[in-house]
């Protein structure tokens, strides 16, 4: 066949296969037989083999998976991928409704309700209609580029029906049937099975070899747009329809509810229907439908105020408590852990559950040998609910906390006002190990490839005794460790190196200063900008910072006074670890005083060209302004980008001040 003939047949095949694929995988309504589809696909594969120069990266043949990758690249999300607050019962849902109404000045919201698919969140980016990148959620700000694997999911169109540039988000998952088949195959091959469909989906998408993902039969439902820059879309349910019109797959069970009573009815109906679904869900997501109202409600640090996840009641299972282990944490707290006869709870095998402290063991009257009821709190963390006293045989044994640290044998103490027993030996190996694990964890320095196991290895071999040692590791040293090949050593070293450029809050959180969580670390980093400034801050200065209370201020001062801490920070500095804040700047108190936004209600509309919407919003809020979604008589200022529609018209009608994006940038430049 001549090349031009081949090209036109290839084009034709691609178009047909895309269309058939859309009906089969997205709409679940095939219009040709499987055999016919396979035959056309085969023809395309062989034509592309004969004419490799005609292969494009959006050809339907990429679904079979290309070459393996050496590692996943990191991806910065334009709009952070947040999580949701939880509701566990009707009362929580009514509270949510009250908070929403309060936030909206008693306006009546309507709600969009969707199934909460139990998979993993992914972001898809399209440029002029072409699928260019897919990423995992990661820590919410930075995820991993899994484009190659996502391309193997047939319901993800490689081209949209319109040539638009946008980001869509959704949940990738493995249908129940595929999960069962996969595990049957694993069992037959003598391999370890996946605990549940979510782990199987996550495991498949984190394979460097896309051929593996291609065989796993994954699917995906899209549930939101990254940023909505289309003035025609004013509600979440319209956004969903738009996503569907572009050729993307949305879940068909969502419902637009007029009020919280209808929401509760919807939620209840799914408690019953849940087992019949061909995929796993772990709850229902409830979202305020009007986008303007969503903007008015805004976000907390972790999640939107306009949405909540209702979680189905946790499954409870009976098992035997066969022993109690002791664990020494990063701060020296000794925690008793129940060792259980393994049972399956909500899809995974549970062997251990934290018992928190001795008081709780007394309160629940737990003895070794008891039959206990176990559930997973929030469907994640195993917990002993209660003891089945009627099943006691008299053989059960009482448990007593030790008086010495199980790891270093120093005397344990009970600090005033605390229920926990602590090991206060700063050289306790368990504490050091846990501290190192915390330092490398995702919300702290986020060093890929360094988990609990490798840390334990490095520590046991004497290669790492404090966090600074991580930055002194040598290739030769690592190569000697068990289960560490050249590739993993190189990857680990470059992962460590990369964290030297982290913004200050990651280091601050990683240091593990008492009471300083990830959020406080961010506040401190934003406020002080360098570690020197924070080291110099006294109690009063710290307490004056918004959200920093007495306990935390004290703890920070005490922490930085310690000789070892001063040394550690100098050492990290010399090793090249950055100690400055790299995120958006906070304006000074004077800026706020003089700010044209102080106490003003501002609406952003249209497409901004130089700033992201979040950057603009952050600036305005930092300068004392409040962002709302809709223009009303209460609006003081409207800032308009390109293609502003009805909101601009409304502002003009009401005689509200309107600024262009340039004007806004000028006013906020300093
Ligand atoms: S909306 C701002 N809708 O649940 C967060 N999430 O904690 C917006 N999920 O990580 C999320 N189904 O992966 C949304 N229909 C749905 C969902 C859904 C599953 C997951 C998502 C997210 C987590 C929320």
Query: Residue 670: its pLDDT value, please?
Result: 59
621 within domain boundaries: yes
* Ligand 1 nearest-atom number relative to CA 115: 15
* Ligand 1 nearest-atom number relative to CA 121: 13
* Ligand 1 nearest-atom number relative to CA 120: 13
* Residue 70 in this model has a pLDDT that exceeds 90: no
Q: Mean pLDDT over residues 358-368, rounded?
A: 93
Are 170 and 222 contacting, i.e. CB atoms less than 8 angstroms apart? yes
Domain end point (choices 311, 340, 371): 311
CA of 667 to the centre of ligand 1 (A): 37
CA of 28 to the centre of ligand 1 (A): 23
298 within domain boundaries: yes
CATH of the domain at 473: 1.10.150.20
Residue 126 banded pLDDT, cuts 50, 70, 90: very high
Query: Residue 378: its pLDDT value, please?
Result: 62
User: Do 214 and 283 have their domain in common?
Assistant: yes
CA of 81 to the centre of ligand 1 (A): 9
Q: Which strands, in side-by-side order, build the sheet including 601-605?
A: 626-628, 601-605, 637-640, 657-660
- Rounded distance, CA 161 to CA 131, Å? 12
461 within domain boundaries: yes
Q: Mean pLDDT over residues 75-100, rounded?
A: 93
- Rounded distance, CA 321 to CA 370, Å? 6
* Ligand 1 nearest-atom number relative to CA 287: 1
417 within domain boundaries: no
* Ligand 1 nearest-atom number relative to CA 116: 12
User: Do 164 and 302 have their domain in common?
Assistant: yes
* SS3 labels along 330-385: CCCEEEEEEEEEEEEECCEEEEEEECCCHHHHHHCCCCECCEEEEEEECCCEEEEE
How do residues 452-490 score in pLDDT, each as one tens digit? 889 999 999 999 999 999 999 999 999 998 888 999 899
- Name the more confident of 313 and 219: 219
* Residue 667 in this model has a pLDDT that exceeds 70: yes
CA 214 to mean position of chain CA atoms: 24
423 within domain boundaries: no
**Sign of the four-CA dihedral 199, 205, 207, 211:** positive
Residue 61 banded pLDDT, cuts 50, 70, 90: confident
| Mutational test site, ligand 1, from 81, 86, 111, 116, max ligand atoms within 8 Å of CB | 116
Q: Mean pLDDT over residues 509-526, rounded?
A: 92
- Rounded distance, CA 364 to CA 370, Å? 11
- Rounded distance, CA 10 to CA 78, Å? 36
User: Which residue has 């709409």 as its token pair?
Assistant: 27
How do residues 528-561 score in pLDDT, each as one tens digit? 999 999 999 999 999 998 778 999 999 999 999 9
- The interaxial angle of helices 34-50 and 3-21, nearest 10 deg, is 150
| Mutational test site, ligand 1, from 171, 248, 307, max ligand atoms within 8 Å of CB | 171
User: Do 372 and 500 have their domain in common?
Assistant: no
CATH of the domain at 652: 3.40.50.10190
- Rounded distance, CA 633 to CA 150, Å? 47
Q: Mean pLDDT over residues 236-242, rounded?
A: 96
Q: How many domains does the chain have?
A: 5
Q: Mean pLDDT over residues 612-637, rounded?
A: 86
Of 347-351, 448-452, 482-486, 586-590, give the lowest mean pLDDT range: 586-590
CA of 171 to the centre of ligand 1 (A): 7
CATH of the domain at 348: 2.40.50.140
- Ligand 1 atom 4: residue of nearest CA: 116
CA of 121 to the centre of ligand 1 (A): 7
How do residues 17-57 score in pLDDT, each as one tens digit? 999 999 998 888 899 998 999 899 999 999 999 998 998 88
Query: Residue 581: its pLDDT value, please?
Result: 94
- Find the helix or strand (DSSP H, E) in which 267 lies: helix 260-273
User: Do 294 and 259 have their domain in common?
Assistant: yes
| Mutational test site, ligand 1, from 80, 84, 173, max ligand atoms within 8 Å of CB | 84
The residue from 3, 74, 116, 249 that is catalytic is 116
CATH of the domain at 90: 3.30.470.30
74 within domain boundaries: no
**Sign of the four-CA dihedral 210, 214, 219, 220:** positive
User: Do 174 and 264 have their domain in common?
Assistant: yes
* Residue 377 in this model has a pLDDT that exceeds 80: no
User: Do 90 and 206 have their domain in common?
Assistant: yes
**Catalytic-residue membership of 116:** yes
User: Do 297 and 322 have their domain in common?
Assistant: no
* Residue 588 in this model has a pLDDT that exceeds 80: no
pTM of the model: 0.66
Query: Residue 590: its pLDDT value, please?
Result: 78
Terminal alpha carbon distance of the chain: 66
Residue 585 banded pLDDT, cuts 50, 70, 90: confident
Domain end point (choices 292, 311, 330): 311
- Ligand 1 atom 13: residue of nearest CA: 121
User: Do 44 and 115 have their domain in common?
Assistant: no
413 within domain boundaries: no
- Name the more confident of 259 and 4: 259
- Ligand 1 atom 2: residue of nearest CA: 82
Residue 379 banded pLDDT, cuts 50, 70, 90: low
User: Do 329 and 473 have their domain in common?
Assistant: no
- Nearest residue to 550 via CA among 539, 538, 561: 539
138 within domain boundaries: yes
Domain end point (choices 311, 342, 359): 311
CA of 284 to the centre of ligand 1 (A): 9
- List Cβ neighbours of 79 (8 Å cut-off, separation of 6 or more): 167, 226, 227, 612, 614
* Ligand 1 nearest-atom number relative to CA 282: 19
User: Do 527 and 635 have their domain in common?
Assistant: no
User: Do 24 and 118 have their domain in common?
Assistant: no
Average pLDDT, the chain: 91
- Residues flanking ligand 1, CB < 6 Å: 82-84, 114, 116-117, 121, 137, 171, 223-224, 285, 304, 309
- Nearest residue to 517 via CA among 545, 555, 543, 488: 555
- Rounded distance, CA 259 to CA 286, Å? 11
- Nearest residue to 99 via CA among 362, 316, 296: 296
* SS3 labels along 505-541: HHHHHHHCCCCCCHHHHHHHHHHHCEHHHHHHCCHHH
Domain span at 29? 3-64
- Name the more confident of 385 and 614: 385
How do residues 629-651 score in pLDDT, each as one tens digit? 889 988 999 998 887 778 888 88
Radius of gyration of the chain measured on its C-alpha atoms: 28
CA of 96 to the centre of ligand 1 (A): 17
User: Do 295 and 321 have their domain in common?
Assistant: no
């Amino acid at each position: 066949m001549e090349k031009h003939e081949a090209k036109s047949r290839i084009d034709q095949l691609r178009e047909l296969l895309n269309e058939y694929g859309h009906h089969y995988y997205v709409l679940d309504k095939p219009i040709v037989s499987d055999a016919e589809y396979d035959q056309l696909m085969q023809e395309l594969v062989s034509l592309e083999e004969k004419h490799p120069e005609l292969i494009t990266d959006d050809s339907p043949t990429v679904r079979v998976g290309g070459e393996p990758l050496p590692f996943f690249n990191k991806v910065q999300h334009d709009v952070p991928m947040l999580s949701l607050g939880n509701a566990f019962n009707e009362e929580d849902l009514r509270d949510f409704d009250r908070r929403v109404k309060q936030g909206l000045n008693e306006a009546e919201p309507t709600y969009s309700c969707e199934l909460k698919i139990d998979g993993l969140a992914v972001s898809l980016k399209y440029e002029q209609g072409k699928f260019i990148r897919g990423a995992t959620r990661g820590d919410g700000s930075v995820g991993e580029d899994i484009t190659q694997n996502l391309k193997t999911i047939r319901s993800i169109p490689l081209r949209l029906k319109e040539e638009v540039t946008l980001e869509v988000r959704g949940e990738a998952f493995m249908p129940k049937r595929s999960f069962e088949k996969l595990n049957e195959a694993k069992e037959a091959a003598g391999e370890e099975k996946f605990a549940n469909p979510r782990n199987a989906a996550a495991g498949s998408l984190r394979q460097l070899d896309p051929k593996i993902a291609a065989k796993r039969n994954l699917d995906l439902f899209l549930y939101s747009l990254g940023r909505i820059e289309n003035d025609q879309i004013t509600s979440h349910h319209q956004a969903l329809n738009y996503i569907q019109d572009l050729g993307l797959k949305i879940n068909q069970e969502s419902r637009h509810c007029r009020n919280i009573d209808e929401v509760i009815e919807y939620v209840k109906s799914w408690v019953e229907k849940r087992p019949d679904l061909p995929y796993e869900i772990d709850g229902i997501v409830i979202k305020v439908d009007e986008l303007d109202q969503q903007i008015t409600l805004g976000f907390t640090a972790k999640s939107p105020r306009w949405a909540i996840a209702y979680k189905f009641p946790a499954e409870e299972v009976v098992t035997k408590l066969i022993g109690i282990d002791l664990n020494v944490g990063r701060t020296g707290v000794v925690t008793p852990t129940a060792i259980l006869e393994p049972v399956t709870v909500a899809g995974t095998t549970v062997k251990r559950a934290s018992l928190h402290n001795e008081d709780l063991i007394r309160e629940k009257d737990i003895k070794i040998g008891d039959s206990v009821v176990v559930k997973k709190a929030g469907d994640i963390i195993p917990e002993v609910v209660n003891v089945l006293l009627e099943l006691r045989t008299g053989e059960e044994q009482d448990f007593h906390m030790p008086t010495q640290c199980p790891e270093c044998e120093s005397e344990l103490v009970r600090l005033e006002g605390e229920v926990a027993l602590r090991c206060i030996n700063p050289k306790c190996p368990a504490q050091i190990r846990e501290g190192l694990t915390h330092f490398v964890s995702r919300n702290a320095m986020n060093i890929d490839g360094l988990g609990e196991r490798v840390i334990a290895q490095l520590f046991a071999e004497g290669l790492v005794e404090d966090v600074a040692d991580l930055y002194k590791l040598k290739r030769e040293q690592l190569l000697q460790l068990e289960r560490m090949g050249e590739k993993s050593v190189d990857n680990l070293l470059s992962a460590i190196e990369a964290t030297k450029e982290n913004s200050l809050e990651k280091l601050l959180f990683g240091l593990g200063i008492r009471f300083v969580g990830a959020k406080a670390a961010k506040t401190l980093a934003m406020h002080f900008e360098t570690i020197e400034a924070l080291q110099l801050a006294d109690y009063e200065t710290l307490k004056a910072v918004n959200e920093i209370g007495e306990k935390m201020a004290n703890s920070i001062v005490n922490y930085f006074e310690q000789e070892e801490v001063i040394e550690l920070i100098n050492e990290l500095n010399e090793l090249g670890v950055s100690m400055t804040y790299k995120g958006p700047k906070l304006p000074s108190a004077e800026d706020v005083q003089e700010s044209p936004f102080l106490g003003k209600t501002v609406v952003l509309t249209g497409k901004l060209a130089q700033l992201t919407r979040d950057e603009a919003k952050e600036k305005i809020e930092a300068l004392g302004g409040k962002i709302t979604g809709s223009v009303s008589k209460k609006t003081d200022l409207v800032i308009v980008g390109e293609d502003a529609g009805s909101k601009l018209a409304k502002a003009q009608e009401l005689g509200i001040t309107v600024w262009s994006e340039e004007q806004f940038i000028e006013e906020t430049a300093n």
